[in-house]
Structure 1
Amino acid sequence: METKPTVKGNLLGRGRHGRVYSAFFFNHTPHHVAVKSAFSSHSSLLAKEKRILSELQHCPEIVHCYGDDSTMEEGVETYNLFLEYAPGGSLGDLIRNSGGTLPESDVQLYTRMILKGLCHIHEKGYVHCDIKPSNILVFPLEDGGNKVKIADFGLAKRVGEERALQLPQFSGTPAYMSPESVLYGEDEPPLDVWSLGITVVEMLTGKLVWRRLGKEDLLFSIVFGKPEIPESVSEVGKDFLRRCFRREAKERWTARMLLNHPFITEEPSSMAMETSHFDWSRLKLRDPLASTGSSSSPRSRSNSFFSWFCSSMQSLFKISSVL
């Protein structure tokens, strides 16, 4: 699609990457879009986002990029990135506008869409690094439902791409980060799965998993705490979240595996079924620990925990020295 001429409209929001406006393309017919703008001298993250989105095209669960250009605005060169306009705002807006919580059946559907997008991202060799409700956009459908898409790839990285661990300046949003990302600076696909679990809890409860803690308490909670799974969630939903919150990254289920979890595959009407009616043995067969031949004896678990505890304490001393 041609990116000119373009007319900017209302300011939709401000972020670390610049400002986001409502805008229109005028080709044969007007086309409503969103445009992220930043001074060209501060546009590296937007340019990076454009490059990544160009590699992630053709996935219905990822926001579409229409291109970019540079303009002179008030005598300053400005970089513009053109994206799909989301009439429904963000998933965070949807949660607030729905009274603070979403029905579990809706959470199930939105989680399925996010997982499809994550599968595409990970299989293309990237990690999003900042999955959270404000980075999931909502597109209302004619039947009254919604479609959600993953957006904001300014912090995305290629799998294995190194970054310096600069604490307390994190590459993502601290409240959605995983233990290994806080401790070791690891930005790998399991990080996105952990962040997805935090997002699912927020959809169900309307509350942050770690509440509003100070930075030191937040870091300590992420490393040593356990995300609280709402009691009101179905047993299948609780099991799904437990797979997202495996503390060891290598034991966490992948996005592709989670797409086969009953929380995603079962119809919403069947989510209220009794635990005794569900064949849990079928689910356990897909457990990555069962397929790797990992030892589950008490002694091996104890040794694994001791090693993790020692490394965690060492890392926390480093964190404390910075804070």
Structure 2
Amino acid sequence: MRSTRFSAIAAMLFLVYGTAAGASGDALTIYSSTEPGALSAELYRHGGRPQAVPGYAVVRHQRDLALEQGRNVLRFSDVAALIDPTTVSFESLTDPGGTSVVEQNFQFDLVSTQKLLQRYVDRQISVDQVRGNGVESFSGTLLSTRGGVTLRREDGSIQLLPHNAGIKLPELPGGLITRPTLVWDIAAKRAGPHRARVSYQTTGITWWADYNLTYAQGVSAATCKLDIGAWVSILNQSGASYQDARLKLVAGDVQRATRPGRTPRAMAAKRGMAEEDRAAGFEQKAFFEYHLYTLGRPTTLPDNS
């Protein structure tokens, strides 16, 4: 007896803020030449190394937007941190001839403690420092953030503080963001609702197939049973999640121009599928030296899974 099982879990989320509204599912095509079992669990169990993940994905997303006639600024947040900005494409399906991209920007200068302090060099900050059973509060000019915090107090003295000192900043400096963001300057001839399609490539995603064989001894050679289980595993460290994604997997050595390394992200792996979902598993098609597998149902691929 033979039974075959398929499953897939992976990641990336695409949200729109500002003038964008209304979302639909993503479509992912994931490419990998990884052999079965080629990626050790140690690669992703403790954070992983993004440069060691061999695959990449093409993401296609459709969204309903509300555009004004003339210039519009759109901000798409929670895109993949490992996105290749040179592959980003924006198109209005409602009015492709009357809608054009004037400027496109990928912002990835994410806020952190060190970056916040660097923005306040030569500016006034306040510090709360524990002294015995009390707290001493003072202010001064931030001189340096290397190896700690160097502060010139109001009396001219220099105070050296650790990075974990109780520093208070009046506001978030401009130019820092909390999430990777794609920003478009769009020129639209037609005002009103638009159906837009965004596509791009991202690294940090790969897949492979594993095969498990279970042998059950029978009373004779004719009654022995062999159960063959085929599982698809998808690893993601792109830093985003895909909701109700339409998933395709491509096997084969796809030639692609290499680009400089990108920001690392943590990743994990997850496998699994309910018995009743097996009927909507992967459909295989072969073309040239490649094999295309299409999942027959939408699947949610959360980040870090």
TM-score for both structures, normalised by structure 1: 0.20
Higher fraction of helix: 1
Larger Rg: 2
Tell which has more relative contact order, 1 or 2 (C-alpha 8 A, sep 6+): 2
